[in-house]
Chain A
């Protein structure tokens, strides 16, 4: 319990730095007033708008105000949507979340059997094939993979929808697209870890009890390999979010990725800020959860 609290306290400086970075981007991006007012606005109107937005104050004061507002969930209005920026972001969050969960599921479903299989058949043709496929999976840019999947399954075979969101079929291609890179990483890591685990004494003990290979691999060996699996998922979550954002634009998936790219192109800075902060908080929370999950998976870990 004390560990959790301590860990939460470590998160605070990180959040402050993230918020500072986010503020800095917007500060450097220049004066938003020109974009927000009609082109024929008078000088007085501009000055007035600057005052309303607090842009006439010194940098550090502006940051202070921004931080205070951010803590209260107030990032200002989106000038495209004419709504609270945070509200728009939170509205889009579930779609991105759904895509990420699906891609994590896809990548573990692919990686666990492949990693295990190539570990028990190491240095055979199967292993060579799986290992090279996983390097290939790492090398492919995901947006291209997404397009190729569309070309094959939607355009040519007409099995799955090209884009959009709705049914489970809409989710399949995006999930594979966003999950492949992590599946590749997981497979490689699981393979090397399983090879190590399978040579451990307790595997020999399990065999000496007369257990079958299935039980030995999935109950005794895989449980010991879960720790690095969780570590990789946690470490990769940031990359995975990045991948999901791009995947969304390929499949017109109505999540944060589409929103933020639109906002960047339109310089809708309130939405950009809210988006980046929400994503950062999400990544931090996932890493925190992974930290706590370690203890469940490996009873040897003590937090002290």
Chain B
């Protein structure tokens, strides 16, 4: 209840949550929403403009592409990939980054220097480039894409968790647990992890947004999952920009609005949870 109240006070957070709910809803109920089969080719209806322009047809809300496929239906289906990749790749990133940060911060010394050099070297390679290169030798399927985006974005977790652990481990209760001979793994998971939780939540939110953009970029470059995604619709629309501008325009708006909602929600979370470190 407290959270709901806090949300209602912040307009920005509320807008974010509404967008996220709409997005989730769309992804889950896509088959029920779409007016047309998104893959159905209908050359008789090709290159129809959006409904409000001359020549638009009532069931094709956002027009059709050069093969007569309904842009609106394709965008609705595209949300599934964005949602899936966005959320799952963040889980992968967290599963790598959080343990690295915990171990690095807790043990320090040589382990820490080694892990941090790995982090440094991954920073030196732009994450989209890393993803591209890995995808170069792995078949771009949904699973590999999730894995690749996760692998190229775990650094934020590792850095923030590490820096928080560094200060947490100086606290009395952690020191006391150490002197009492509590197992290291227990200290890390029961004492340290819960205390970095709010930072993890904030990073995860932002990471979902970045992952959605990364996925759409990969799809745009032709290295996405071989199903309908916002990036691939956009990429197909690119060649028809001069004639069928709507094909490339609307999926971009869908990405922007979704990412915007997640960023707004993330900003609000940061204010509410107030973790000390900014990513």
Contacts and interface: CB of A to CB of B under 8 A. Distances in A.
Contacts of A267: 136-137
Interface in A12-26: 13-15, 17-18, 21-22, 25-26
B121 A141 contact: no
B interface majority secondary structure: helix
B137 A28 contact: yes
Contacts of A135: 260, 263-264, 267
A interface majority secondary structure: helix
Interface string A209-241: 000000000000000000000000000001101
B242 interface: yes
A150 B223 CA distance: 23
B125 A245 contact: no
A280 B248 CA distance: 32
A117 B59 CA distance: 46
A136 B125 contact: no
Contacts of B221: 246, 249, 261
A242 B128 contact: yes
Contacts of B220: 141, 143, 246
B56 interface: no
Contact of A144 (B134, B135, B256): B256
Interface residues of B, number: 44
Given A141-B216, A150-B241, A155-B242, A279 B252 contact: no
Given A141-B252, A283-B126, A25 B133 contact: yes
A283 B248 CA distance: 32
24 contacts: A18-B124, A26-B137, A29-B137, A135-B263, A135-B267, A139-B255, A140-B252, A140-B256, A141-B231, A143-B217, A144-B255, A144-B256, A150-B241, A238-B124, A239-B127, A242-B129, A245-B132, A260-B133, A264-B133, A267-B136, A279-B125, A280-B121, A280-B124, A283-B126
Interface of B: 117-118, 120-129, 132-137, 209, 213, 216-217, 220-223, 231, 234, 238, 241-242, 245, 248-249, 251-252, 255-257, 259-260, 263-264, 267
